[in-house]
Amino acid sequence: MLYTIPQAACDQNVIMTQYIFFSGKGGVGKTTMAATTAVYQSQKGKRTLLVSTDPAGNLGDIFERKVGIETIQVTPDLFLAQMDSDAITDAYKNRMLEPLSAILEGAVLEQVKEEFNGGCTVEIATFDKFTDFLGDETYDLIIFDTAPTGHTLRLMTLPNEWDKYIKKSAEGQGQTCIGPVSQLESSRQKYSHAVSMLQNADRTTVYLVSRPEKTSVYETMRAKSELERTGIHNFHLVINGVYPNHSSLTGLFKSMAENQKKYVEELRHLFPETVSEVPLQQSEVKGVKNISLLGEIAFDGKEASIQTDFPNNKLFTGFSSPEILNGLLNKKSDNRVIILTGKGGVGKTVTACTLALKMAEKGKTLLFTTDPAAHIGQVLETEVSHIPVNITGNLWAVNIEQKTAVEEYRLKIMDDARANGYSDELLASLEEELESPCTEEIAIFEQFSNLLNEPGWDYFVLDTAPTGHTLRLLELPFEYKKQIDMKLKDNIQSATDTGHGNSKIEMLIARLKNPDYATFLLVAYPEFTPIHESYRAMKDLERVGIKAQGIFLNQILKSDDCLTGFSHERWKLQQYYLYKAFDLYNPLPLFAIPLQPSEIIGIEKVKRLSNEIFFK
């Protein structure tokens, strides 16, 4: 049963708005749990706002209506908003530039406008809007449905980082990466308030959502540890997707239920007083009626299950052959990049490890990840760091570690600037600019770019962060190039450009757009939200000139494992969405990854899965 907010804590005579954050590994059910809590609490008479901060948020999918940055009312006491980075950034730029337009003109004003077109503005604008919600006292309860863990940790540590950065800039040159300190002083006060709200255990609770699986348990504990370091200490654990009615399950489902038991016990041991279990439903949770029913199941312990009358479809037979997959992956140039993207929790990491192992049979292969919550080390049961490590044979793996990337990037930029003869004044200004939290994004992109330019590799396999974070990374080369061009126009050679930086970025952009060099593959599983989010990702890639070449559909059930009851209803749901995916993605090929009886952990299990995918 889910934890219920004590009535006293929500009594406006005692304290004002309460804040709840839902965080966890991608695919664990954060949005569903956030929506369930919001509907349940609103039905208890609490004026509730549910906000998605996920760049690839799907509140609209779950509530079956269009949700944007403008708050909409769903029921008398329930309101929804979806943070849209483009709309938020435009509004932020207009707000910041309006007072400057009255006092600046000509080339000076144009230069300031260009500064606001950099990647930093997207991050600060989105974050600025987030802190607006933390200062809104017109609701009894504000619930944040956040992006997967790495992105969430970034969001929740930013108030402190931006507060420090603006304060430090005020003491120095008075200039930040997105404009003068004088324009941001009111923001600094707002960010300081956000810090106090996040650290106030009487007002903020973090719900960590986990599946009873090894990688999910690991990430849950990592998130808790990271947040505790920022002064956040009020947690509640939700174990979601627990198989119901163990005694009635058979075959594959019985094996998976048995595997869950040890992780449920481990999580209960780690969170002895603040833990809840929510049973896996035989159908998907969509629409206020079903969300409300899940609330009764989760909060009140109601004996019920969500059911959808999917037609008893015939077996889907539209998967493409392993030969077609091999054709997409084979080298057509000196080396080849295989990039996997999709919604969190759909199995990108396992798929990436599986493909990398296959590619290593053909040549020297580097597997790496841009996901802040990297899991390739857990899947391969090998310590993976920022230095490539040999896994087996021709397979190597490396993580792009944020902290290391930022340190190396700052050091490189300052060394280049000194070598180029920058004055002490310019060096001080540059060092101040590099203190910006935005530097992290550029540093990660720099590492990403450097890896793809390393000689000696036949194949690169990239396990990306969940969709929104990945699209941001892939858009960075374009924004990064604009920033360099802008700095060069100022008659000061940019420290981020050593004479080859611009051409290096242009080459990378051209390579990513070239299907002979890069293969983009989407990963999803056959349910509404994953296949539609992957479809949106495909269209976003097309917007920057990149075409996806195939789709992996994961967790595919075999009909022999799903003959009765709960398992048969899950099979019917899958068949329905497999046909939907076939129509949606046509003519792109679909490739099947069968559901496994246990987690894919260890090189031997990765090998077995590789054989199932490539040698049917």
Residue 424 lies in a domain: no
- Tallying the residues shown for the chain, one arrives at 616
Same domain, 68 and 38: yes
Of 300, 333, 351, the last residue of a domain is 300
Residue 429 lies in a domain: no
Q: Alpha helices of 172-250 — where are they, by DSSP H?
A: 185-198, 214-229
Rounded to an integer, what distance in angstroms lies between the CA atom of residue 48 and that of residue 206?
16
Stretch 114-135: mean pLDDT, rounded?
A: 70
Candidate from 52-66, 105-119, 253-267, 420-434 with smallest mean pLDDT: 105-119
Rounded to an integer, what distance in angstroms lies between the CA atom of residue 372 and that of residue 368?
12
Q: What is the DSSP letter of 420?
A: T
Residue 66 lies in a domain: yes
Select, from the ranges 168-182, 218-232, 346-360, 375-389, the one with the highest average predicted confidence (pLDDT): 346-360
Same domain, 403 and 522: yes
Same domain, 260 and 381: no
When comparing pLDDT for 6 and 216, which is higher? 216
Residue tagged 């004002």 (tokens):
16
Provide CB contacts within 8 A for 580, sequence distance 6+.
526, 531
Give the pLDDT confidence of 590-603 residue by residue, as tens digits: 999 999 888 899 99
Of 300, 330, 362, the last residue of a domain is 300
Same domain, 220 and 365: no
Of 265, 300, 335, the last residue of a domain is 300
Same domain, 296 and 338: no
When comparing pLDDT for 503 and 347, which is higher? 347
Nearest to 77 by CA among 141, 135, 137, 136: 141
Stretch 54-67: mean pLDDT, rounded?
A: 84
What pLDDT shows up at residue 38?
97
- Structural domain boundaries, residue 397: 322-412+443-614
What pLDDT shows up at residue 185?
57
What pLDDT shows up at residue 115?
60
Select, from the ranges 116-125, 280-289, 327-336, the one with the highest average predicted confidence (pLDDT): 280-289
Q: Alpha helices of 117-213 — where are they, by DSSP H?
A: 119-134, 149-171, 185-198
Same domain, 346 and 449: yes
Give the pLDDT confidence of 462-485 residue by residue, as tens digits: 987 655 555 555 655 555 545 544
Residue 530 lies in a domain: yes
Same domain, 384 and 236: no
The pLDDT of residue 437 is above 60: no
Nearest to 29 by CA among 286, 210, 283: 210
Same domain, 231 and 364: no
* Sign of the Cα pseudo-torsion (135, 141, 142, 146, in order): positive
Domain with residue 466: its CATH number is: 3.40.50.300
Candidate from 319-328, 336-345, 383-392 with smallest mean pLDDT: 336-345
Stretch 237-257: mean pLDDT, rounded?
A: 85
Provide CB contacts within 8 A for 32, sequence distance 6+.
62, 240, 285, 291, 294
When comparing pLDDT for 364 and 189, which is higher? 364
Q: Which two tokens stand for residue 99?
A: 């007072």
Residue pair 38/75 in contact by the 8 Å Cβ criterion: no
What pLDDT shows up at residue 498?
39
Chain centroid offset of residue 310 CA: 30
Arithmetic mean of pLDDT over the chain: 80
What pLDDT shows up at residue 116?
62
The angle subtended at Cα 557 by Cα 556 and Cα 563, nearest 5°, is 165
What pLDDT shows up at residue 195?
75
Same domain, 608 and 478: yes
Stretch 329-337: mean pLDDT, rounded?
A: 84
Residue 116 lies in a domain: no
Residue 379 lies in a domain: yes
The pLDDT of residue 385 is above 80: yes
Give the pLDDT confidence of 503-512 residue by residue, as tens digits: 666 777 788 8
Give the count of domains, the chain.
2
Residue 419 lies in a domain: no
Residue 188 lies in a domain: yes
Give 75-94 as a 3 state SS string.
Answer: ECCEEEEECCHHHHHHHHHH
Same domain, 495 and 372: yes
What pLDDT shows up at residue 616?
52
Chain centroid offset of residue 384 CA: 20
Stretch 312-337: mean pLDDT, rounded?
A: 88
User: Beta strands of 429-535 (E only): which ranges?
Assistant: 459-463, 518-524
Residue percentage of the chain with pLDDT more than 70: 75
The pLDDT of residue 233 is above 70: yes
Same domain, 149 and 53: yes
The two counts, helices (H) then strands (E), for the chain are 22, 18
Stretch 108-124: mean pLDDT, rounded?
A: 62
The pLDDT of residue 440 is above 90: no
Rounded to an integer, what distance in angstroms lies between the CA atom of residue 45 and that of residue 11?
11
Same domain, 326 and 249: no
Stretch 216-231: mean pLDDT, rounded?
A: 84
Q: Which two tokens stand for residue 110?
A: 């144009």
What pLDDT shows up at residue 536?
85
